[in-house]
Amino acid sequence: MPEAYNPKVIEHLVRPRNVGELESPSGVGESGDATCGDVARFNVHIRDNVLENVRYKAYGCAACIAAGSALSELARGRPLLDAARVSEADLEAALGGALPEGKGHALPLVLDALHKAFEDHWNRNAGEMLVDGYAAAFGGGSNGRKTVVAAMSGGVDSAVTALLLKEAGYDVACVTFRLHDGERGSRSCCSPDTVLFARDTAHRMGLPHFTLNLKDLFDKRVMSDFVGSYAEGRTPNPCVACNAHVKFHAAAFLSDALGFERVATGHYARVVEGPEGPTMARPADATKDQTYVLWPVPRELLARTVFPLGEYRKEEVRGIARDRGLAVAYTPESQDICFIPDGNYRRFVRKKVAAEPGEVVDGEGRTLGRHAGIVDFTVGQRRGIGVSARTPLYVTEVRPEAKQVVVGRKEQLEAREVRVGGMNWFLDPGASEAVQVRYNGGPVPCEVEEVGGGEWVARLAQPVAGVAPGQSAVFYAGDRVVGGGVVRRGARRGGG
């Protein structure tokens, strides 16, 4: 045995704890390191949120075997929240101090295997929620305590969110979602490296951390919709779809499973009381306003949601991270579309659907050229149309049935009316004073009218260019969100 290993490591090697497999485990997790061949596998039995029993097997170097034994001993018999709080530092202390140089990888490896077993446990309990969405009533329970599940993406906003909640006296449990197979080393909020980083960040704050595998749900409700929308001539917003069907509902599932009351995210928004219950309001930092992508959150779920960053400016959030010594203080902003690392959405869509060629036509139906597929076009697009003209041309409409892309002058993009469906209202629709039809666009004064079939028309006080079907239309009264929906089409374009 190498002399560098201290007596506690040797003890776990000579008398390993909890070795083996459990019959009918609640969850199983395995993690490995391809560079050295180490593999750790954990079986857990969880009942009433207590880790009643645990077994492990480890293959590879002595450090991995000893770390697995020590972790099983630390976690066994503890409340699940306490077991999920065990950190690399705790494990290192249980092994008598720092491992020899080059052996430290054993600590995150065995922790990852245990947490994958927890993840498997939640997946089995969630069942069809991971495919169809969480359909339970949003109840929650606190037993007189301030409790919250905080979504943690690995960035500065979500980390400071969890920290502020802890400092405000909440019992905080952090959760990271596996949404897709992100690339290692990428800036994606769901890459394998990000999950490990988020867990370590939570543990350094003394908080328990869980992971939920939502890949099937994300694929069905976000990625498939994203691809299908372009194939049908619409312009989707995947962040809206994710908030509508995935992240908030998954956080509510975990909150209910733990007996917690609230959920929290690092979005820049506020929850305020309205005449008909809670509603959403713009944040203090107008440059980071994310209410536009949050409109689908059900009112019942919004009532138990906390947005701690709503009262802060972005520079203040980074300052808090720096002052508290959080490693995330200097992390860059996340990318726009998390599942498309290179930002080339056209190439991504073309891998999923067969793009058929068609015609580029003007508003009168005259053929101006050919295109390679409507998936390459969105309303308002100027570049890449493939047709030359004396004045710049813009995509004014996409007709999937006819495989046509309609182009025209800029003024032909202007809409005086916007038809919206799939509504989610927080306040009486009549309270609407303005509508926002693009994430980076400003609010435009409007009047709204119900037109039947679950659809509404917003009549705009001034024309808006490039209203794209599939995007969101969010209605405001001052800084409060009245409600939102999905753009069906714009109407009354000038010059056409």
Range list of β-strands (E), 429-479: 434-436, 444-452, 455-465, 472-477
User: What are the counts of helices (DSSP H) followed by strands (DSSP E) for the chain?
Assistant: 15, 20
Phi, psi of 141 (to 5 degrees): -155, 145
Q: Does the structural domain 414-491 have CATH classification 2.40.30.10?
A: yes
**Average of per-residue pLDDT values in the chain:** 90
Percent of the chain at pLDDT above 90? 68
**DSSP states along 335-346:** PSSTT-TT--HH
With residue 119 as reference, give the H or E element that holds it. helix 106-126
* Mean pLDDT value of segment 92-113: 93
The whole-number pLDDT of residue 143 equals 61
* Mean pLDDT value of segment 426-444: 94
With residue 320 as reference, give the H or E element that holds it. helix 314-323
* The Cα angle at residue 306 between residues 261 and 341, in degrees rounded to 5: 115
Q: Is the pLDDT of residue 256 over 60?
A: yes
The second-level CATH assignment, the architecture, of 354-408 is: Roll (2.30)
Q: Is the pLDDT of residue 134 over 90?
A: no
Percent of the chain at pLDDT above 70? 92
Pure H helices in 354-433 = none
The whole-number pLDDT of residue 367 equals 94
Range list of β-strands (E), 119-190: 147-151, 171-178
Which DSSP state fits 79? B
pLDDT band at 435 (very low <50, low <70, confident <90, very high): very high
HSE-CB for 383 with a 13 A CA cutoff: 0
Pure H helices in 331-434 = 345-352
Q: Helices 247-258 and 106-126: crossing angle, nearest 10°?
A: 90
Q: Write the CATH number of the domain with boundaries 7-126.
A: 3.90.1010.10
**pLDDT one-digit tens code per residue, 148-207:** 999 998 899 999 999 999 999 999 999 999 998 764 444 445 555 789 999 999 999 999
* One-letter identity of residue 472: S
Q: Which fold has domain 131-330?
A: Rossmann fold (3.40.50)
Range list of β-strands (E), 296-432: 305-306, 358-361, 367-371, 394-399, 404-408, 414-425
Closest by alpha carbon to 468, among 381, 400, 384, 393? Answer: 381
Pure H helices in 246-393 = 247-258, 299-302, 314-323, 345-352
The residue extents of the domains of the chain are 7-126, 131-330, 354-408, 414-491
Annotated catalytic sites, by residue?
Answer: 242, 338
**pLDDT one-digit tens code per residue, 223-251:** 999 998 988 889 999 999 998 889 999 99
Q: Is the pLDDT of residue 124 over 70?
A: yes
Closest by alpha carbon to 466, among 420, 423, 412, 421? Answer: 412
* One-letter identity of residue 234: R
Determine the Cα–Cα distance for residues 467 and 93; give it in Å rounded to an integer: 59
Determine the Cα–Cα distance for residues 55 and 33; give it in Å rounded to an integer: 20
Closest by alpha carbon to 490, among 438, 428, 452, 453? Answer: 438
Determine the Cα–Cα distance for residues 174 and 149; give it in Å rounded to an integer: 6
User: Which two structure tokens, joined as six digits, stand for 348?
Assistant: 């991504």
* Mean pLDDT value of segment 23-44: 89
- Contact between 99 and 65 (Cβ < 8 Å): no
Q: Residue-wise over 153-180: b if at least 16 C-beta within 10 A, else e?
A: bbbbbbbbbbbbbbeeebbbbbbbbbbb
User: Which two structure tokens, joined as six digits, stand for 373?
Assistant: 């597929």
Closest by alpha carbon to 174, among 207, 142, 196, 141? Answer: 207
Residue with tokens 């009316």, as numbered in its chain = 417
- Contact between 299 and 278 (Cβ < 8 Å): yes
Which DSSP state fits 352? H
* One-letter identity of residue 140: G
Task: Report the DSSP beta bridge partners of residue 211.
Answer: 176
pLDDT band at 34 (very low <50, low <70, confident <90, very high): low
The whole-number pLDDT of residue 336 equals 66
Determine the Cα–Cα distance for residues 435 and 366; give it in Å rounded to an integer: 34
* Mean pLDDT value of segment 362-378: 92
